[in-house]
Homo-oligomer: A and B are copies of this chain.
Amino acid sequence: MESGRTEPSRTELSRREQIYRVAGRLFSERGYHATSMRDLAAELGIQGGSLYAHISGKEELLSEIVQRAARQFDEALFSLRTEDLTPQERLREAMSRHLTVIAENMETATVFFHEWKHLSQEPLAAVITWRDGIEAFYRELIAEGVEAGVYRTGLNIKMAANLVLSSVNWAYTWYRPGGQLSPQDVAASFEQMLLSGLEQPVPARPMQEEN
Measuring CB to CB, which residues of chain A are less than 8 angstroms from any residue of chain B?
29-34, 88, 114-115, 117-118, 142, 145, 149-153, 155-156, 159-160, 162-163, 165-167, 169-171, 173-174, 186, 189-190, 193-201, 203-205, 207-208, 211
Residues of B within 8 A of A156 (CB): 189
Q: How many copies does the complex hold?
A: 2
Q: Which residue of B lies closest to A171 (CB)?
A: B166
CB of A159 within 8 A of CB of B193, answer yes
User: Are A34 and B118 interface neighbours, CB within 8 A?
Assistant: yes
Residues of B contacting A118 in the complex (Cβ-Cβ under 8 angstroms): 30-31, 34
Kindly list chain B residues whose C-beta atoms are within 8 Å of the C-beta of A152. Answer: 196, 198-200
Closest to A190 in B: B163
With most chain B CB atoms within 10 A of its CB, the pick from A34, A170, A173, A205 is: A170
One of B150, B170, B195, B201 near A165 (C-beta < 8 A): B170
Q: Which residue of B166, B207, B208 contacts A167 across the interface (Cβ within 8 Å)?
A: B166
Q: List 13 A-B contacts (CB under 8 A).
A: A29-B117, A31-B32, A31-B33, A33-B34, A34-B118, A150-B200, A151-B199, A152-B199, A160-B198, A162-B174, A166-B167, A197-B199, A204-B207
What is the predominant secondary structure among interface residues of chain A facing chain B?
A: helix
Q: How far apart are the CA atoms of A211 and B112 in the complex, in Å?
A: 53
Q: Which residue of B lies closest to A34 (CB)?
A: B33
CA A152 – CA B115 in complex, angstroms? 39
- In the complex, the answer to whether A193 meets B194 with C-beta atoms within 8 Å is yes
Contact indicator B170/A200 (Cβ below 8 Å): no
Chain B residue nearest to A162 (CB atoms) is: B174
CB distance from A12 to the nearest CB of B (A): 31
Chain B residues near A33: list those with CB within 8 A: 31, 33-34
- Give chain B residues whose Cβ lies under 8 Å from the Cβ of A32: 31, 34
